[in-house]
Amino acid sequence: MRSHAAVSELDMNGLAVAFNAEDDLAWIGLPQISCSAVPVPGWVREFFPDGPWRAALAGDDNGYLVLEWPAGFDLPSLPVPGYSLRRRTMRSLIVTCVDRSDPTIDVQLRYFAPQHGVPEDTATGSAMRVLATYWMNRELNDGLRAYQCSPYGGLLRSRIRGELTWIGGRVLCTSGGEWHDI
């Protein structure tokens, strides 16, 4: 964030978060979340036969499982796990890989949380918050550019500054059932 940019507060489902608009992006500041490397769970191959090569956990038992595939893997080819995922975990799945085909994108991701009513999300700020820490601990810097490979797609950014992870993107707000760019 630019040091002279004005920061205000936004209420998100009862949680007060820092908010800033910079250029054409809206940014929210969330407390950092830690990620811990773990072995890839064996059950993952039930859902993804071309299994990932790395995994990490973030948050509590209802938090996140990050699954990483090799750079350039075709994330859109992965099937949506569906509601049977509840048999294995209450964690939301964030699948990711480095993107070396587009110089404006660092990583790709998809987000699955059918156990929470979200089979696949279009653009997920909470997933980007996790990936900011995950990739900073791996090989990328504290500023991340990501493409969410959902059916509609979404571009997300992150920056880690002090105790906050800033998530940025173009936002469409609804007011009275109408969409508005901000």
133 domain-assigned: yes
Percent of the chain with pLDDT over 70: 88
Q: Which two tokens stand for residue 49?
A: 């036969």
5 domain-assigned: no
Q: How many domains does the chain have?
A: 1
pLDDT in tens, 28-44: 999 999 999 999 999 99
Q: How far apart are CA 82 and CA 112, in angstroms?
A: 8
Report, as an integer, the average pLDDT of 71-96: 95
Beta-carbon contacts of 82 under 8 Å, excluding residues fewer than 6 positions away, are 114, 119
Say whether 133 sits in a helix, a strand or coil. Answer: helix
Residue 179 has pLDDT above 70, yes or no: no
Check residue 1 and give its pLDDT.
Answer: 46
Q: pLDDT value at position 174?
A: 57
94, pLDDT greater than 80: yes
The reply to whether 12 falls in a domain is no
Residue 153 maps to which CATH number?
3.10.310.10
Give the span between the Cα atoms of 130 and 112, in whole angstroms.
14
Q: How confident is the model at residue 170 (pLDDT cuts 50, 70, 90)?
A: confident
The span from the CA of 130 to the CA of 145, in Å, is 13
In a domain, 17, yes or no: no
State if pTM tops 0.75.
Answer: yes
Q: Does a structural domain hold residue 15?
A: no
Domain of 52? Answer: 31-181
Q: Is pLDDT at 138 greater than 50 in this prediction?
A: yes
